[in-house]
Each structure stands twice: as structure tokens, then as C-alpha cells.
């Protein structure tokens, strides 16, 4: 017998909780509960934050329906619409409705949302005075716009301005009345507020600032608004958008403890543990939220508890705001007015209509206001949530994360100004229009959802910032920004750092041990977490952990790069890029023998052999091995190549033996598994022909020694290295290189290259530990050399000798197959 | 009518891994899950024909190595927002041997 779960409030927070609940078991609906949903509005669940675009005729009601009536049926939910709950009877565990229904519950979920605050002035009950909250209000406004001309919106906050903009678009003459002297004072500082007011005035809105409403005048229907100082304006429609109040009257009447909202604990339970509450109606740790992102985080936690797992807690949310008025780019987060001791970094370009302000405390971002150019809003918000130190780049931070869209995005700073046809994701060919459509039509709120549905930003990731911006601009304050803590994948709530730490602290030495200790939600993990765990275990316990081939991506399992046609490419290692005639001959012979269709010299100074059949790999490796070659690891999250220039042996500018040092570095580092690919280079002089300053670890030789540089990247986002230090001997170069590799191997998240890792932990922190702490540096170097003892076993030779033969040997069977199976793959 | 063909010993397929059966005309991937169930599926992702046998196996699902589509091994259907289906064949284990019915596609 299933328990009965009743949801009061058929809105976004409540229904999202049900959706989250359904994820906890297989199939449609819930295995645990018979569910009834009671909603006062006559509609199925719709996207309330999209009401502004509906009012502005940019979208229709149908566009913003999130769950159709069929969805409720498919999930075995009894849906009651157009009927309001009038009483919660906690003694008998029953709710009563206006229409006289009695619905029993074992657990109750209250998601009654909020009601607009209607100021209690004389005349507020007149016809034509409304709030801005639901489809009914929007319909009323749209209808009024057909018949009437003059509208007054009371309230110059986010909601009020969106309502005013919509009514103006419907052809009404709109005046915004605001009690204070600046608009959106809870989100904007004075300067940004002024700029906003100016551009809205240019769009045609009228403003009355510092105006206190005293009375709504008129007979049956409103005809005007009178102010405390005696002024009066005409009005056929008055929209009260002074803010919202948590709708807690039902709970209060039932004796559930309420303050400003229904008080809930970290598991979203009210003082009656059978009764949960989520959404705008709740008060959690003294905060009431009116934005969607926090509500969704609450929904996740409530669902986890309703599913009787009890493994998550809601700890409050940090929110950011965007205004959904077309043509106005505005972003705000945190404490945007500096307090004593804070610093403000300001960039203002009046003729371009750009204003940016960051409030900084102890080298950390505390708040941000962006006007005109909000491209970097998500980046600043991320830095703020991570409490990242900006000390290393505060001199350039105002110019934004300028490397954001290097891979073909140019300097697209105002993403909303891009046409719908603009290609955002160059890997998967996804345009801005595709993304916006999916967000609106499917009802997407998170980056992960957009990735899953559109494939945008799901390959190389260089467009993630752009996709986040589109998401933020499209859903506005509904944008569910990345949570404070990003879980490794959907199998767990723990972050990479927490997993790395648990493996070390609790001496977890196998993948099942990690999954059990950290309460993984899936028995086998998934294609995202398994390679990560395998790497973390290998990096931490090189002597004890045995590599799990089935948790490696195919390239690393087959020790070659899989190509689009299912063949592989083979890159033999050539230390320092040096090669001898007999080695070249051996490569040529191998290509003849196995019909290699194409050979290419790579950017890392190696030779790539393309189009090798999988079953030919081991015999080919055997031949290469006999000629002295080992695997080039061109396929792995591993140390790849050391690129070198000619050096002083030949070059008249060379200051040191760069090729010789390159060979030594490669001999030290080859075979090492890394969080991501890792490239080195040695240039013999500052002319830097080996391009050492865009490598993960680079050496630039000078007459007096060796400049060591780190964290460069020539890939998706070009990043020039940071200077680590200068040393005098080759032995020191090797020691610093090994120590740096090991620090990266132990600390970086799986699939995080050195460039973002250096930016995340801060160059100063890396320098401190590698330069100032000789003991730590030497220990890191020792640990690196220890792990190399186990890593420098050539995987090609091992497979040529028969290891993992099943991987390369298909089973030949002469059988007939069902006809459909013979269809050729297009 | 079933036409069970003996393919390989279960232990010759890695746990959470697969083997390719090459019939001369087509390739069929035979998977073994962590709890020793076996599944046979045409070795081509419904998306762009990626070799499913090279994917990572988790639960009764394989993730295609080319573009991360997740394919349900029992039905051959793509999971999540992706749509598509690859042919599946009945498969079973008896006395430690894996059998596949190649005619029942």
C-alpha cells in the first residue's frame, strides 16, 4: 500500500519537487506515493517567470506550459485544478477544498508560493487594480490594453519594470511610480539605476520618483492615482508590483509555525514533520526567496527526503538577478554597495552605455553590478560563489574573462545582441536560436539540461560561458546557476575536491570502496565518474591500485586515438622530437606493412599514423617496439610531448642545449597519467621557437640559466604561461618540473587542464609551495618519481606480448543474422 | 523458434566490458554487465554509427565513445533527450557459456 502525498500548489517549486522525486525510482510516477496535486489556478504547471515575455507578446501562454495535462496522467498524478485548499486538518491528516473535496494525506507538501503585495490605500479594491502574478493578471492586462490607454505601475523593482515594459509594448502609455529615488534599489547602485532609468525613458516609459501613493480614485473602475503630496495622474489600469508576500495563511491557520514565511529546516520540513514546504512560501534560515534558482535547490532536497534517502540538506542560496527587458543588459549579484573597508573597481564608458562595478573585500568579489555589457556576469558570480582570490588578476578583471570565446566567437560581448542564426557551439553546430528555442519550449533551467537537449557546450566546452549567458538572459532570474558545489556527476552529490580528499584521508583504495564510502547513487557509476575515480585512485595509490581498464575511455583502453570511422591512430614517442634514420625507416616499413592510409607530422613534433584497424594495433606495436619505440600517449589524459627547438648545438642564437634538456624532461615524465593532457616545451633562447609559453610546463633558456613557465594552453582558450621561477641548472629544471607535475596530478580535478587549475588555485599559492618550501618541493618530486616507477611500463610492448588480447580480437562467427541487422550505418 | 548460437565463455568477456562478434557481414557487440547479465546489440550507435563495444558500461547502459549517447542495452534505445534505436538480439548465459540468437532481431 503506497502512502498518500498531497501537493498544495500546482506551481514551479511543487511540481519540480515531484519531478525530482520521480528521478529516485525507475519508470513513470513514484513507487512510494499515490500523489494528488491541488492547484487554485485552472492551468497545469507553467513557467511563471516567463509571464513578462507573454505580456510583451514575445511568447504565448502555450510556450510557457512546463507540464501538460498528459504529464500528470502519465505519472499517475491526480490533478485537481481551479479549486483552492481552504483548510489543512492536521489531526485527521486531511485537506479540505473550496469545492468541498476532502483529500487525505500521509505526507503533505505545501508550495503555495506568494501573493503580490497590494498597498492598503483607499480604492485599492477598484476594478482595474491588479497585481502581476499569474496568467489571470496577464490576461487582465492584455485585455485592458485593447480597451484603455493609460496604465500606472506602482513599484520600480524588477517585476514592476517588466510589467511596465510589457504594457508599453501593448501600446499603453505607462507611468512607473516608485517610492524611492532610484529604480531597482535592491539590485542596483545609484549609477546603474540612473542609466537604467535613462534607457527606459528613451524607450518611452514615464517615471514618477519618490512618489507615495495615497489613493486610487474613480467610481467602479479606477480613473487615477493620487499621491501624498497632492499630485494626481490619470489611469485606466493600475498594476501593483510592490513586491510579494509568502502565501502562508493556510499553514498559519493550521497552527504551523510561521514568521515572514512558513519556517522550514534544512530538510524542508515544517514544524510538523509530516508537512514539507518549498518555494516562495517558505522561510529558511531567516531568508525568503523570490527567485527560481533557490526554489529548485529546495525541491531537490525535499524530493530526496520524500524518497526516504535523507542524504542532502538545503543550506541556503546565493542569487543573482537579470532584468528581462529586451534590449537592456543588466546583471546584479551580492553586496553591490561597498561597505566600510571594501573597495570598488569601476569601469564606466558612458557613450557605449557600459557600466561595471565589482565590490571587493580581502581580494574576493562580494558583489557585482553590470550594465550594458553583462557577458562576464556568470564568471564574476562564479568567482564570488567560489570565494576565489582575485589577487593574481585584479588588474585585468574589469575587462572580463577575455579568453572566454576564443575559439571562433570573436569578441561577442553582448550575447543577446547576436542574431538567432549565430553559431554558439562550433563543435556541434548549435545556433543561438536553437538554444533559446530549447530553453523556452522544453523548459530548461540549468546548463546541464541545455547540454543534454541541444548538445551545445557538451563537447569542447569553450562556449559554456556563452551558453550560460543565453540561459541567464532567456530565463532571467529563473536561471539555476551552477550550485556552490558542483558534484562530480549525477551519481553523487560530492564534488571533485571532496572525492580527492576522501580517497586520501580515509585511505580508499578501490572504486567500490569509494562508491560505498561516499554513498554513490548508482552501483557502477557512469561514463563521467568512473574515469575520474580511476585516475584519482591511480594518482594517490600508485603502488597499490591496479588500473581498471573498463573505467577508461576507449582511447586509453586501446592505447590509440579512436577516429570517426572507428579506426585508430598511432603516434610513436620520439623523445624531444629527435629521430634517427633507422627509426624513420622502421616507421615507414610499418606503414607499408599495415597499409596505413595517411601519415602526418603533428604539432608536438611526432609522426601520426592514421587509419589503423583495431586488430592490427598489437602486431604494429610489436614492430615499433622492436625498433625501440614506446607509446607516445597521444591518446591519453597523460604527459604527451616535449617540443624542442634546435638549441645551441646548431642554432647561432641558442643559449643552452634545449634538445638535450627536452630529452631528459621527456625521459622523466613519459608515461605519467595526468588529470588532462599535459605538454612541455624547451626553447633554446627567448625567441622561443618551441612555443614554450603556451605549454603546461615550459622552459625558456637564457644565457644565465632557465626560465620556468607554467599553465599555458594553446587549445580552446589560448593562455600564455605564468612565470614560475628561474633556475641555473638542468637538475633544478627536472626537480621543479617533477614537483609541478605531481602537484597538478594530486590537486587538479579530472579533466581540468593546468591553465584553469592555475587560475583556480592561484599562481601565488603554487609559487609559495614550490619555491618557498624546499621540503615540500622535494617530497612532491619524490612522489612523482615513485609513481613513474609504475607508469613507465610501455603499454604497447605489453599488448604486443599479449596483454588484454580480448580488446583487439573480434570473435569470428559464420552466422546468418536477422535482416534488419544488415542495414548499413549511414 | 529460437536459434541459439554459442558465442564465447562468459569469463572471456571483461566484467563491464564487451566482445565483438564479426559475422563477416556485420558486427555485433556482446556485453557483460557488472552483475553478469549479457546483451547483444548491433555494434553501431544509432547516432553516427559509433562502435558501442568501445563504450563504458554502467548498469544496463553503454555510453557511446564518440558523442556520449547513452544506449539501453536491453532495448537498444537511446536514453534521455536523445532519440534512436539500434538492433538488439536475445542473449543468455548457460553453464558459463554465452548464447546469442542472431536471427531474432
Of A199-203, A449-453, A459-463, B67-71, where does mean pLDDT reach its minimum?
Answer: A459-463
Sequence ranges of the domains in chain B: 28-93
What angle (nearest 5°) sits at the alpha carbon of residue A656, between those of residues A650 and A658? 75
Q: Which residues pair with A37 in a beta bridge?
A: A7, A79
Dihedral sign from CA coordinates of A781, A787, A790, A796? negative
Q: How confident is the model at residue A795 (pLDDT cuts 50, 70, 90)?
A: very high
Question: What is the homologous superfamily of the domain A639-793 according to CATH?
Answer: Sulfite Reductase Hemoprotein, domain 1 (3.30.413.10)
* A chain contacts of residue B51, beta-carbon cutoff 8 Å: 554, 562, 566
Backbone angles phi, psi at B40, to 5 degrees: -120, 135
User: pLDDT (tens digit, 9 = 90+) per residue, B40-59?
Assistant: 999 999 988 889 999 999 99
Nearest neighbour of A813 by CB, restricted to B7, B54, B63: B7
Q: A111-129: buried (b, 16+ CB within 10 Å) or exposed (e) per residue?
A: bbbbbbeeeebebbebebb
Nearest neighbour of B63 by CB, restricted to A453, A523, A527: A527
Greater model confidence, A755 or A464: A755
Of A676-685, A743-752, A807-816, where does mean pLDDT reach its minimum?
Answer: A807-816
The whole-number pLDDT of residue A417 equals: 67
Closest approach of B14 to chain A, Cα-based (Å):
8
Query: Domain A129-242's class?
Result: alpha beta
- Asked whether the beta carbons of residue A818 and residue B102 sit closer than 8 angstroms, the reply is yes
SS3 A250: helix
* B chain contacts of residue A822, beta-carbon cutoff 8 Å: 25-26
The whole-number pLDDT of residue A324 equals: 65
Interface probe for B, chosen from A27, A810, A817, A818 (most Cβ of B below 10 Å), is A817
The residue-averaged pLDDT of A208-214 equals 94
Pairing mode of beta strands B56-58, A705-710: unpaired
Which helix (H) or strand (E) covers residue A87, if one does? Answer: strand A85-89
Neighbours of A84 (CB within 10 A): 16
- CATH number of the B28-93 domain: 2.102.10.10
Q: Which fold has domain A3-114+246-306?
A: FAD/NAD(P)-binding domain (3.50.50)
Give every CB contact of residue A740 below 8 A, 6+ residues apart in sequence. A697, A710, A724, A766, A770, A780
User: pLDDT (tens digit, 9 = 90+) per residue, A272-309?
Assistant: 999 999 999 999 999 888 877 788 889 989 999 999 88
Q: Cite the residue boundaries of each domain of chain A with CATH code 3.30.413.10.
A: 639-793
- pTM recorded for the entire structure: 0.73
Closest approach of A243 to chain B, Cα-based (Å):
37
Nearest neighbour of B105 by CB, restricted to A531, A550, A817: A817
Q: Cite the residue boundaries of each domain of chain A with CATH code 3.50.50.60.
A: 3-114+246-306, 129-242
**Which positions in chain A have a beta carbon within 8 angstroms of at least one beta carbon in chain B?**
452-453, 455, 458-459, 522-527, 530-531, 549-551, 553-555, 557-558, 562, 564, 566, 806, 810-822, 825-826
Closest approach of B40 to chain A, Cα-based (Å):
12
- Asked whether the beta carbons of residue A812 and residue B22 sit closer than 8 angstroms, the reply is yes
Closest by CA position to A587, among listed A644, A548, A537, A628: A628
Nearest neighbour of B59 by CB, restricted to A522, A814, A825: A522
Count the alpha carbons within 13 Å of A412 in the hemisphere toward its beta carbon.
Answer: 22
What angle (nearest 5°) sits at the alpha carbon of residue B95, between those of residues B91 and B99? 20
* B chain contacts of residue A557, beta-carbon cutoff 8 Å: 54
Q: B7-40: buried (b, 16+ CB within 10 Å) or exposed (e) per residue?
A: bbebebbbebbbbbbbbeebbbbbbbbbeeebbb
Neighbours of A451 (CB within 10 A): 21
Residue whose cell numbers read 546468418 = A816
User: pLDDT (tens digit, 9 = 90+) per residue, A109-119?
Assistant: 999 999 988 88
Count the alpha carbons within 13 Å of A804 in the hemisphere toward its beta carbon.
Answer: 23
Please tell me the distance from the alpha carbon of residue A674 to that of residue A748, in angstroms, as a whole number. 9
Please tell me the distance from the alpha carbon of residue A447 to that of residue A469, in angstroms, as a whole number. 10
The whole-number pLDDT of residue B105 equals: 63
- Asked whether the beta carbons of residue A815 and residue B55 sit closer than 8 angstroms, the reply is no
Query: Is the confidence metric ipTM above 0.90 for this complex?
Result: yes
- Asked whether the beta carbons of residue B22 and residue A810 sit closer than 8 angstroms, the reply is yes
Query: Any alpha helices (H) in A327-443, and if so which ranges?
Result: 377-385, 432-438
Q: What is the mean pLDDT of chain A?
A: 89
- Asked whether the beta carbons of residue B58 and residue A530 sit closer than 8 angstroms, the reply is yes
- Asked whether the beta carbons of residue A550 and residue B103 sit closer than 8 angstroms, the reply is no
Amino acid at each position: 500500500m503506497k502512502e498518500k502525498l498531497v501537493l498544495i500548489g500546482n506551481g514551479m517549486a511543487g511540481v519540480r519537487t515531484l519531478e525530482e522525486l520521480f528521478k529516485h525510482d525507475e519508470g513513470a510516477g513514484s513507487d512510494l506515493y499515490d500523489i494528488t496535486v491541488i492547484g487554485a489556478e485552472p492551468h497545469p504547471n507553467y513557467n511563471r517567470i516567463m509571464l513578462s515575455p507573454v505580456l510583451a507578446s514575445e511568447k504565448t501562454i502555450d510556450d510557457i506550459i512546463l507540464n501538460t495535462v498528459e504529464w500528470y496522467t502519465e505519472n499517475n498524478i491526480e490533478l485537481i485544478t481551479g479549486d483552492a485548499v481552504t483548510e489543512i486538518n492536521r489531526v485527521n491528516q486531511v485537506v479540505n477544498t473550496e469545492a468541498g473535496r476532502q483529500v487525505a494525506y500521509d505526507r503533505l507538501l505545501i508550495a503555495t508560493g506568494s501573493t503580490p503585495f497590494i498597498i492598503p490605500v483607499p480604492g485599492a479594491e477598484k476594478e482595474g487594480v491588479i497585481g502581476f502574478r499569474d496568467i489571470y493578471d496577464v490576461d487582465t492586462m492584455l485585455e485592458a490594453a485593447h480597451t484603455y490607454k493609460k496604465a500606472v505601475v506602482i513599484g520600480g523593482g524588477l517585476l514592476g519594470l517588466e510589467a511596465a515594459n510589457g504594457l508599453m509594448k501593448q501600446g499603453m502609455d505607462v507611468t512607473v511610480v516608485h517610492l524611492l529615488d532610484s529604480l531597482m534599489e535592491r539590485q542596483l547602485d545609484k549609477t546603474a539605476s540612473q542609466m537604467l532609468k535613462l534607457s527606459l525613458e528613451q524607450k518611452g516609459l514615464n517615471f514618477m520618483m519618490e512618489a507615495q501613493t495615497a489613493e486610487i480614485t474613480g467610481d467602479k473602475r479606477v480613473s487615477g492615482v493620487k499621491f501624498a503630496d497632492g499630485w494626481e495622474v490619470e489611469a485606466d489600469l493600475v498594476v501593483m508590483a510592490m513586491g510579494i508576500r509568502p502565501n502562508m495563511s493556510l499553514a498559519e491557520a493550521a497552527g504551523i509555525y510561521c514568521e515572514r514565511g512558513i519556517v522550514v529546516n534544512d530538510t524542508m520540513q515544517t514544524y510538523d514533520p509530516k508537512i514539507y514546504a518549498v518555494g516562495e512560501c517558505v522561510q529558511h534560515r531567516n531568508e525568503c526567496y523570490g527567485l527560481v534558482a533557490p526554489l529548485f535547490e529546495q525541491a531537490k532536497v525535499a524530493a530526496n527526503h520524500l524518497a526516504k534517502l535523507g542524504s542532502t540538506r538545503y543550506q541556503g542560496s546565493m542569487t543573482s538577478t537579470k532584468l528581462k527587458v529586451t534590449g537592456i543588459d543588466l546583471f546584479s549579484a551580492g553586496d553591490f554597495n561597498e561597505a566600510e573597508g571594501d573597495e570598488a573597481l569601476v569601469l564606466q564608458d558612458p557613450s557605449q552605455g557600459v557600466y561595471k562595478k565589482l565590490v571587493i573585500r580581502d581580494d574576493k568579489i562580494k558583489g557585482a553590478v553590470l550594465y550594458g555589457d553583462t557577458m562576464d556576469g556568470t564568471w564574476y558570480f562564479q568567482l564570488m560563489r567560489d570565494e576565489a582570490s582575485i589577487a593574481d588578476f585584479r588588474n585585468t578583471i574589469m575587462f572580463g574573462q577575455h579568453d572566454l570565446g576564443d575559439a571562433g566567437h570573436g569578441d561577442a560581448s553582448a550575447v543577446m545582441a547576436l542574431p538567432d542564426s549565430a553559431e554558439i557551439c562550433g563543435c556541434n553546430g548549435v545556433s543561438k536560436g536553437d538554444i533559446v528555442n530549447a530553453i523556452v519550449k522544453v523548459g530548461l533551467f540549468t546548463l546541464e539540461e541545455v547540454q543534454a537537449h541541444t548538445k551545445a557546450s557538451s563537447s569542447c566546452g569553450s562556449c559554456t560561458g556563452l551558453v550560460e549567458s543565453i540561459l541567464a538572459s532567456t530565463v532571467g532570474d529563473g536561471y539555476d546557476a551552477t550550485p556552490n558545489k558542483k558534484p562530480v556527476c549525477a551519481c553523487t552529490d560530492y564534488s571533485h575536491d571532496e572525492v580527492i580528499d576522501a580517497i586520501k584521508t580515509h585511505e580508499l583504495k578501490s572504486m567500490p570502496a569509494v562508491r560505498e564510502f561516499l554513498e554513490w547513487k548508482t552501483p557502477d557509476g557512469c561514463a563521467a565518474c568512473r574515469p575520474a575515480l580511476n585516475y584519482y585512485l591511480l594518482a594517490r595509490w600508485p603502488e597499490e591500485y591496479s588500473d581498471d581498464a573498463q573505467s577508461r575511455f576507449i582511447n586509453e583502453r586501446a592505447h590509440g586515438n579512436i577516429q570517426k570511422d572507428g579506426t585508430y591512430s598511432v603516434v610513436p614517442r620520439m623523445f624531444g622530437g629527435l629521430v634517427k634514420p633507422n627509426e624513420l625507416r622502421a616507421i615507414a616499413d610499418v606503414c607499408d606493412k599495415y597499409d596505413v592510409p595517411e601519415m602526418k607530422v603533428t604539432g608536438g613534433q611526432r609522426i601520426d599514423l592514421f587509419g589503423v584497424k583495431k586488430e592490427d594495433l598489437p602486431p604494429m606495436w610489436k614492430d615499433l617496439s622492436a625498433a625501440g619505440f614506446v607509446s607516445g600517449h597521444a591518446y591519453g589524459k597523460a604527459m604527451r610531448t616535449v617540443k624542442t627547438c634546435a638549441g645551441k648545438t646548431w642554432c647561432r642564437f641558442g643559449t643552452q642545449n634545449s634538445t638535450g634538456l627536452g630529452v631528459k624532461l621527456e625521459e622523466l615524465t613519459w608515461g605519467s597519467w595526468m588529470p588532462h593532457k599535459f605538454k612541455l616545451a624547451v626553447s633554446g633562447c627567448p625567441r622561443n621557437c618551441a612555443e614554450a609559453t603556451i605549454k603546461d610546463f615550459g622552459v625558456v633558456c637564457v644565457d644565465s640559466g632557465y626560465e620556468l613557465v607554467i599553465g599555458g594552453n594553446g587549445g580552446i582558450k589560448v593562455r600564455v604561461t605564468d612565470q614560475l621561477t628561474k633556475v641555473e641548472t638542468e637538475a633544478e629544471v627536472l626537480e621543479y618540473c617533477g614537483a609541478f607535475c605531481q602537484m597538478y596530478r594530486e590537486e587538479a580535478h579530472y579533466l581540468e587542464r593546468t591553465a584553469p587549475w592555475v587560475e583556480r588555485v592561484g599562481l601565488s599559492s603554487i609559487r609559495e609551495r614550490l619555491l618557498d618550501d624546499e621540503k615540500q618541493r622535494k617530497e612532491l618530486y619524490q612522489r612523482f618519481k615513485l609513481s613513474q616507477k609504475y607508469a613507465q611500463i610501455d603499454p604497447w610492448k605489453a599488448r604486443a606480448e599479449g596483454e588484454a588480447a580480448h580488446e583487439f580480437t573480434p570473435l569470428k562467427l559464420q552466422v546468418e543474422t536477422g535482416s534488419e541487422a544488415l542495414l548499413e550505418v549511414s | 523458434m529460437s536459434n541459439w548460437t554459442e558465442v564465447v565463455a562468459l569469463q572471456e568477456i571483461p566484467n563491464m566490458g564487451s566482445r565483438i562478434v564479426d559475422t563477416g557481414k556485420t558486427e555485433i557487440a556482446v556485453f557483460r554487465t557488472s552483475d553478469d547479465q549479457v546483451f547483444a546489440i548491433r555494434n553501431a550507435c544509432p547516432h553516427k554509427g559509433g562502435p558501442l563495444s568501445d563504450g563504458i558500461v554502467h548498469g544496463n547502459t553503454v555510453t557511446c565513445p564518440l558523442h556520449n549517447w547513452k544506449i539501453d542495452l536491453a532495448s537498444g534505445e537511446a536514453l534521455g533527450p536523445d532519440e534512436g534505436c539500434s538492433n538488439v538480439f536475445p542473449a543468455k548465459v548457460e553453464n558459463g557459456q554465452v548464447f546469442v540468437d542472431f536471427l531474432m532481431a
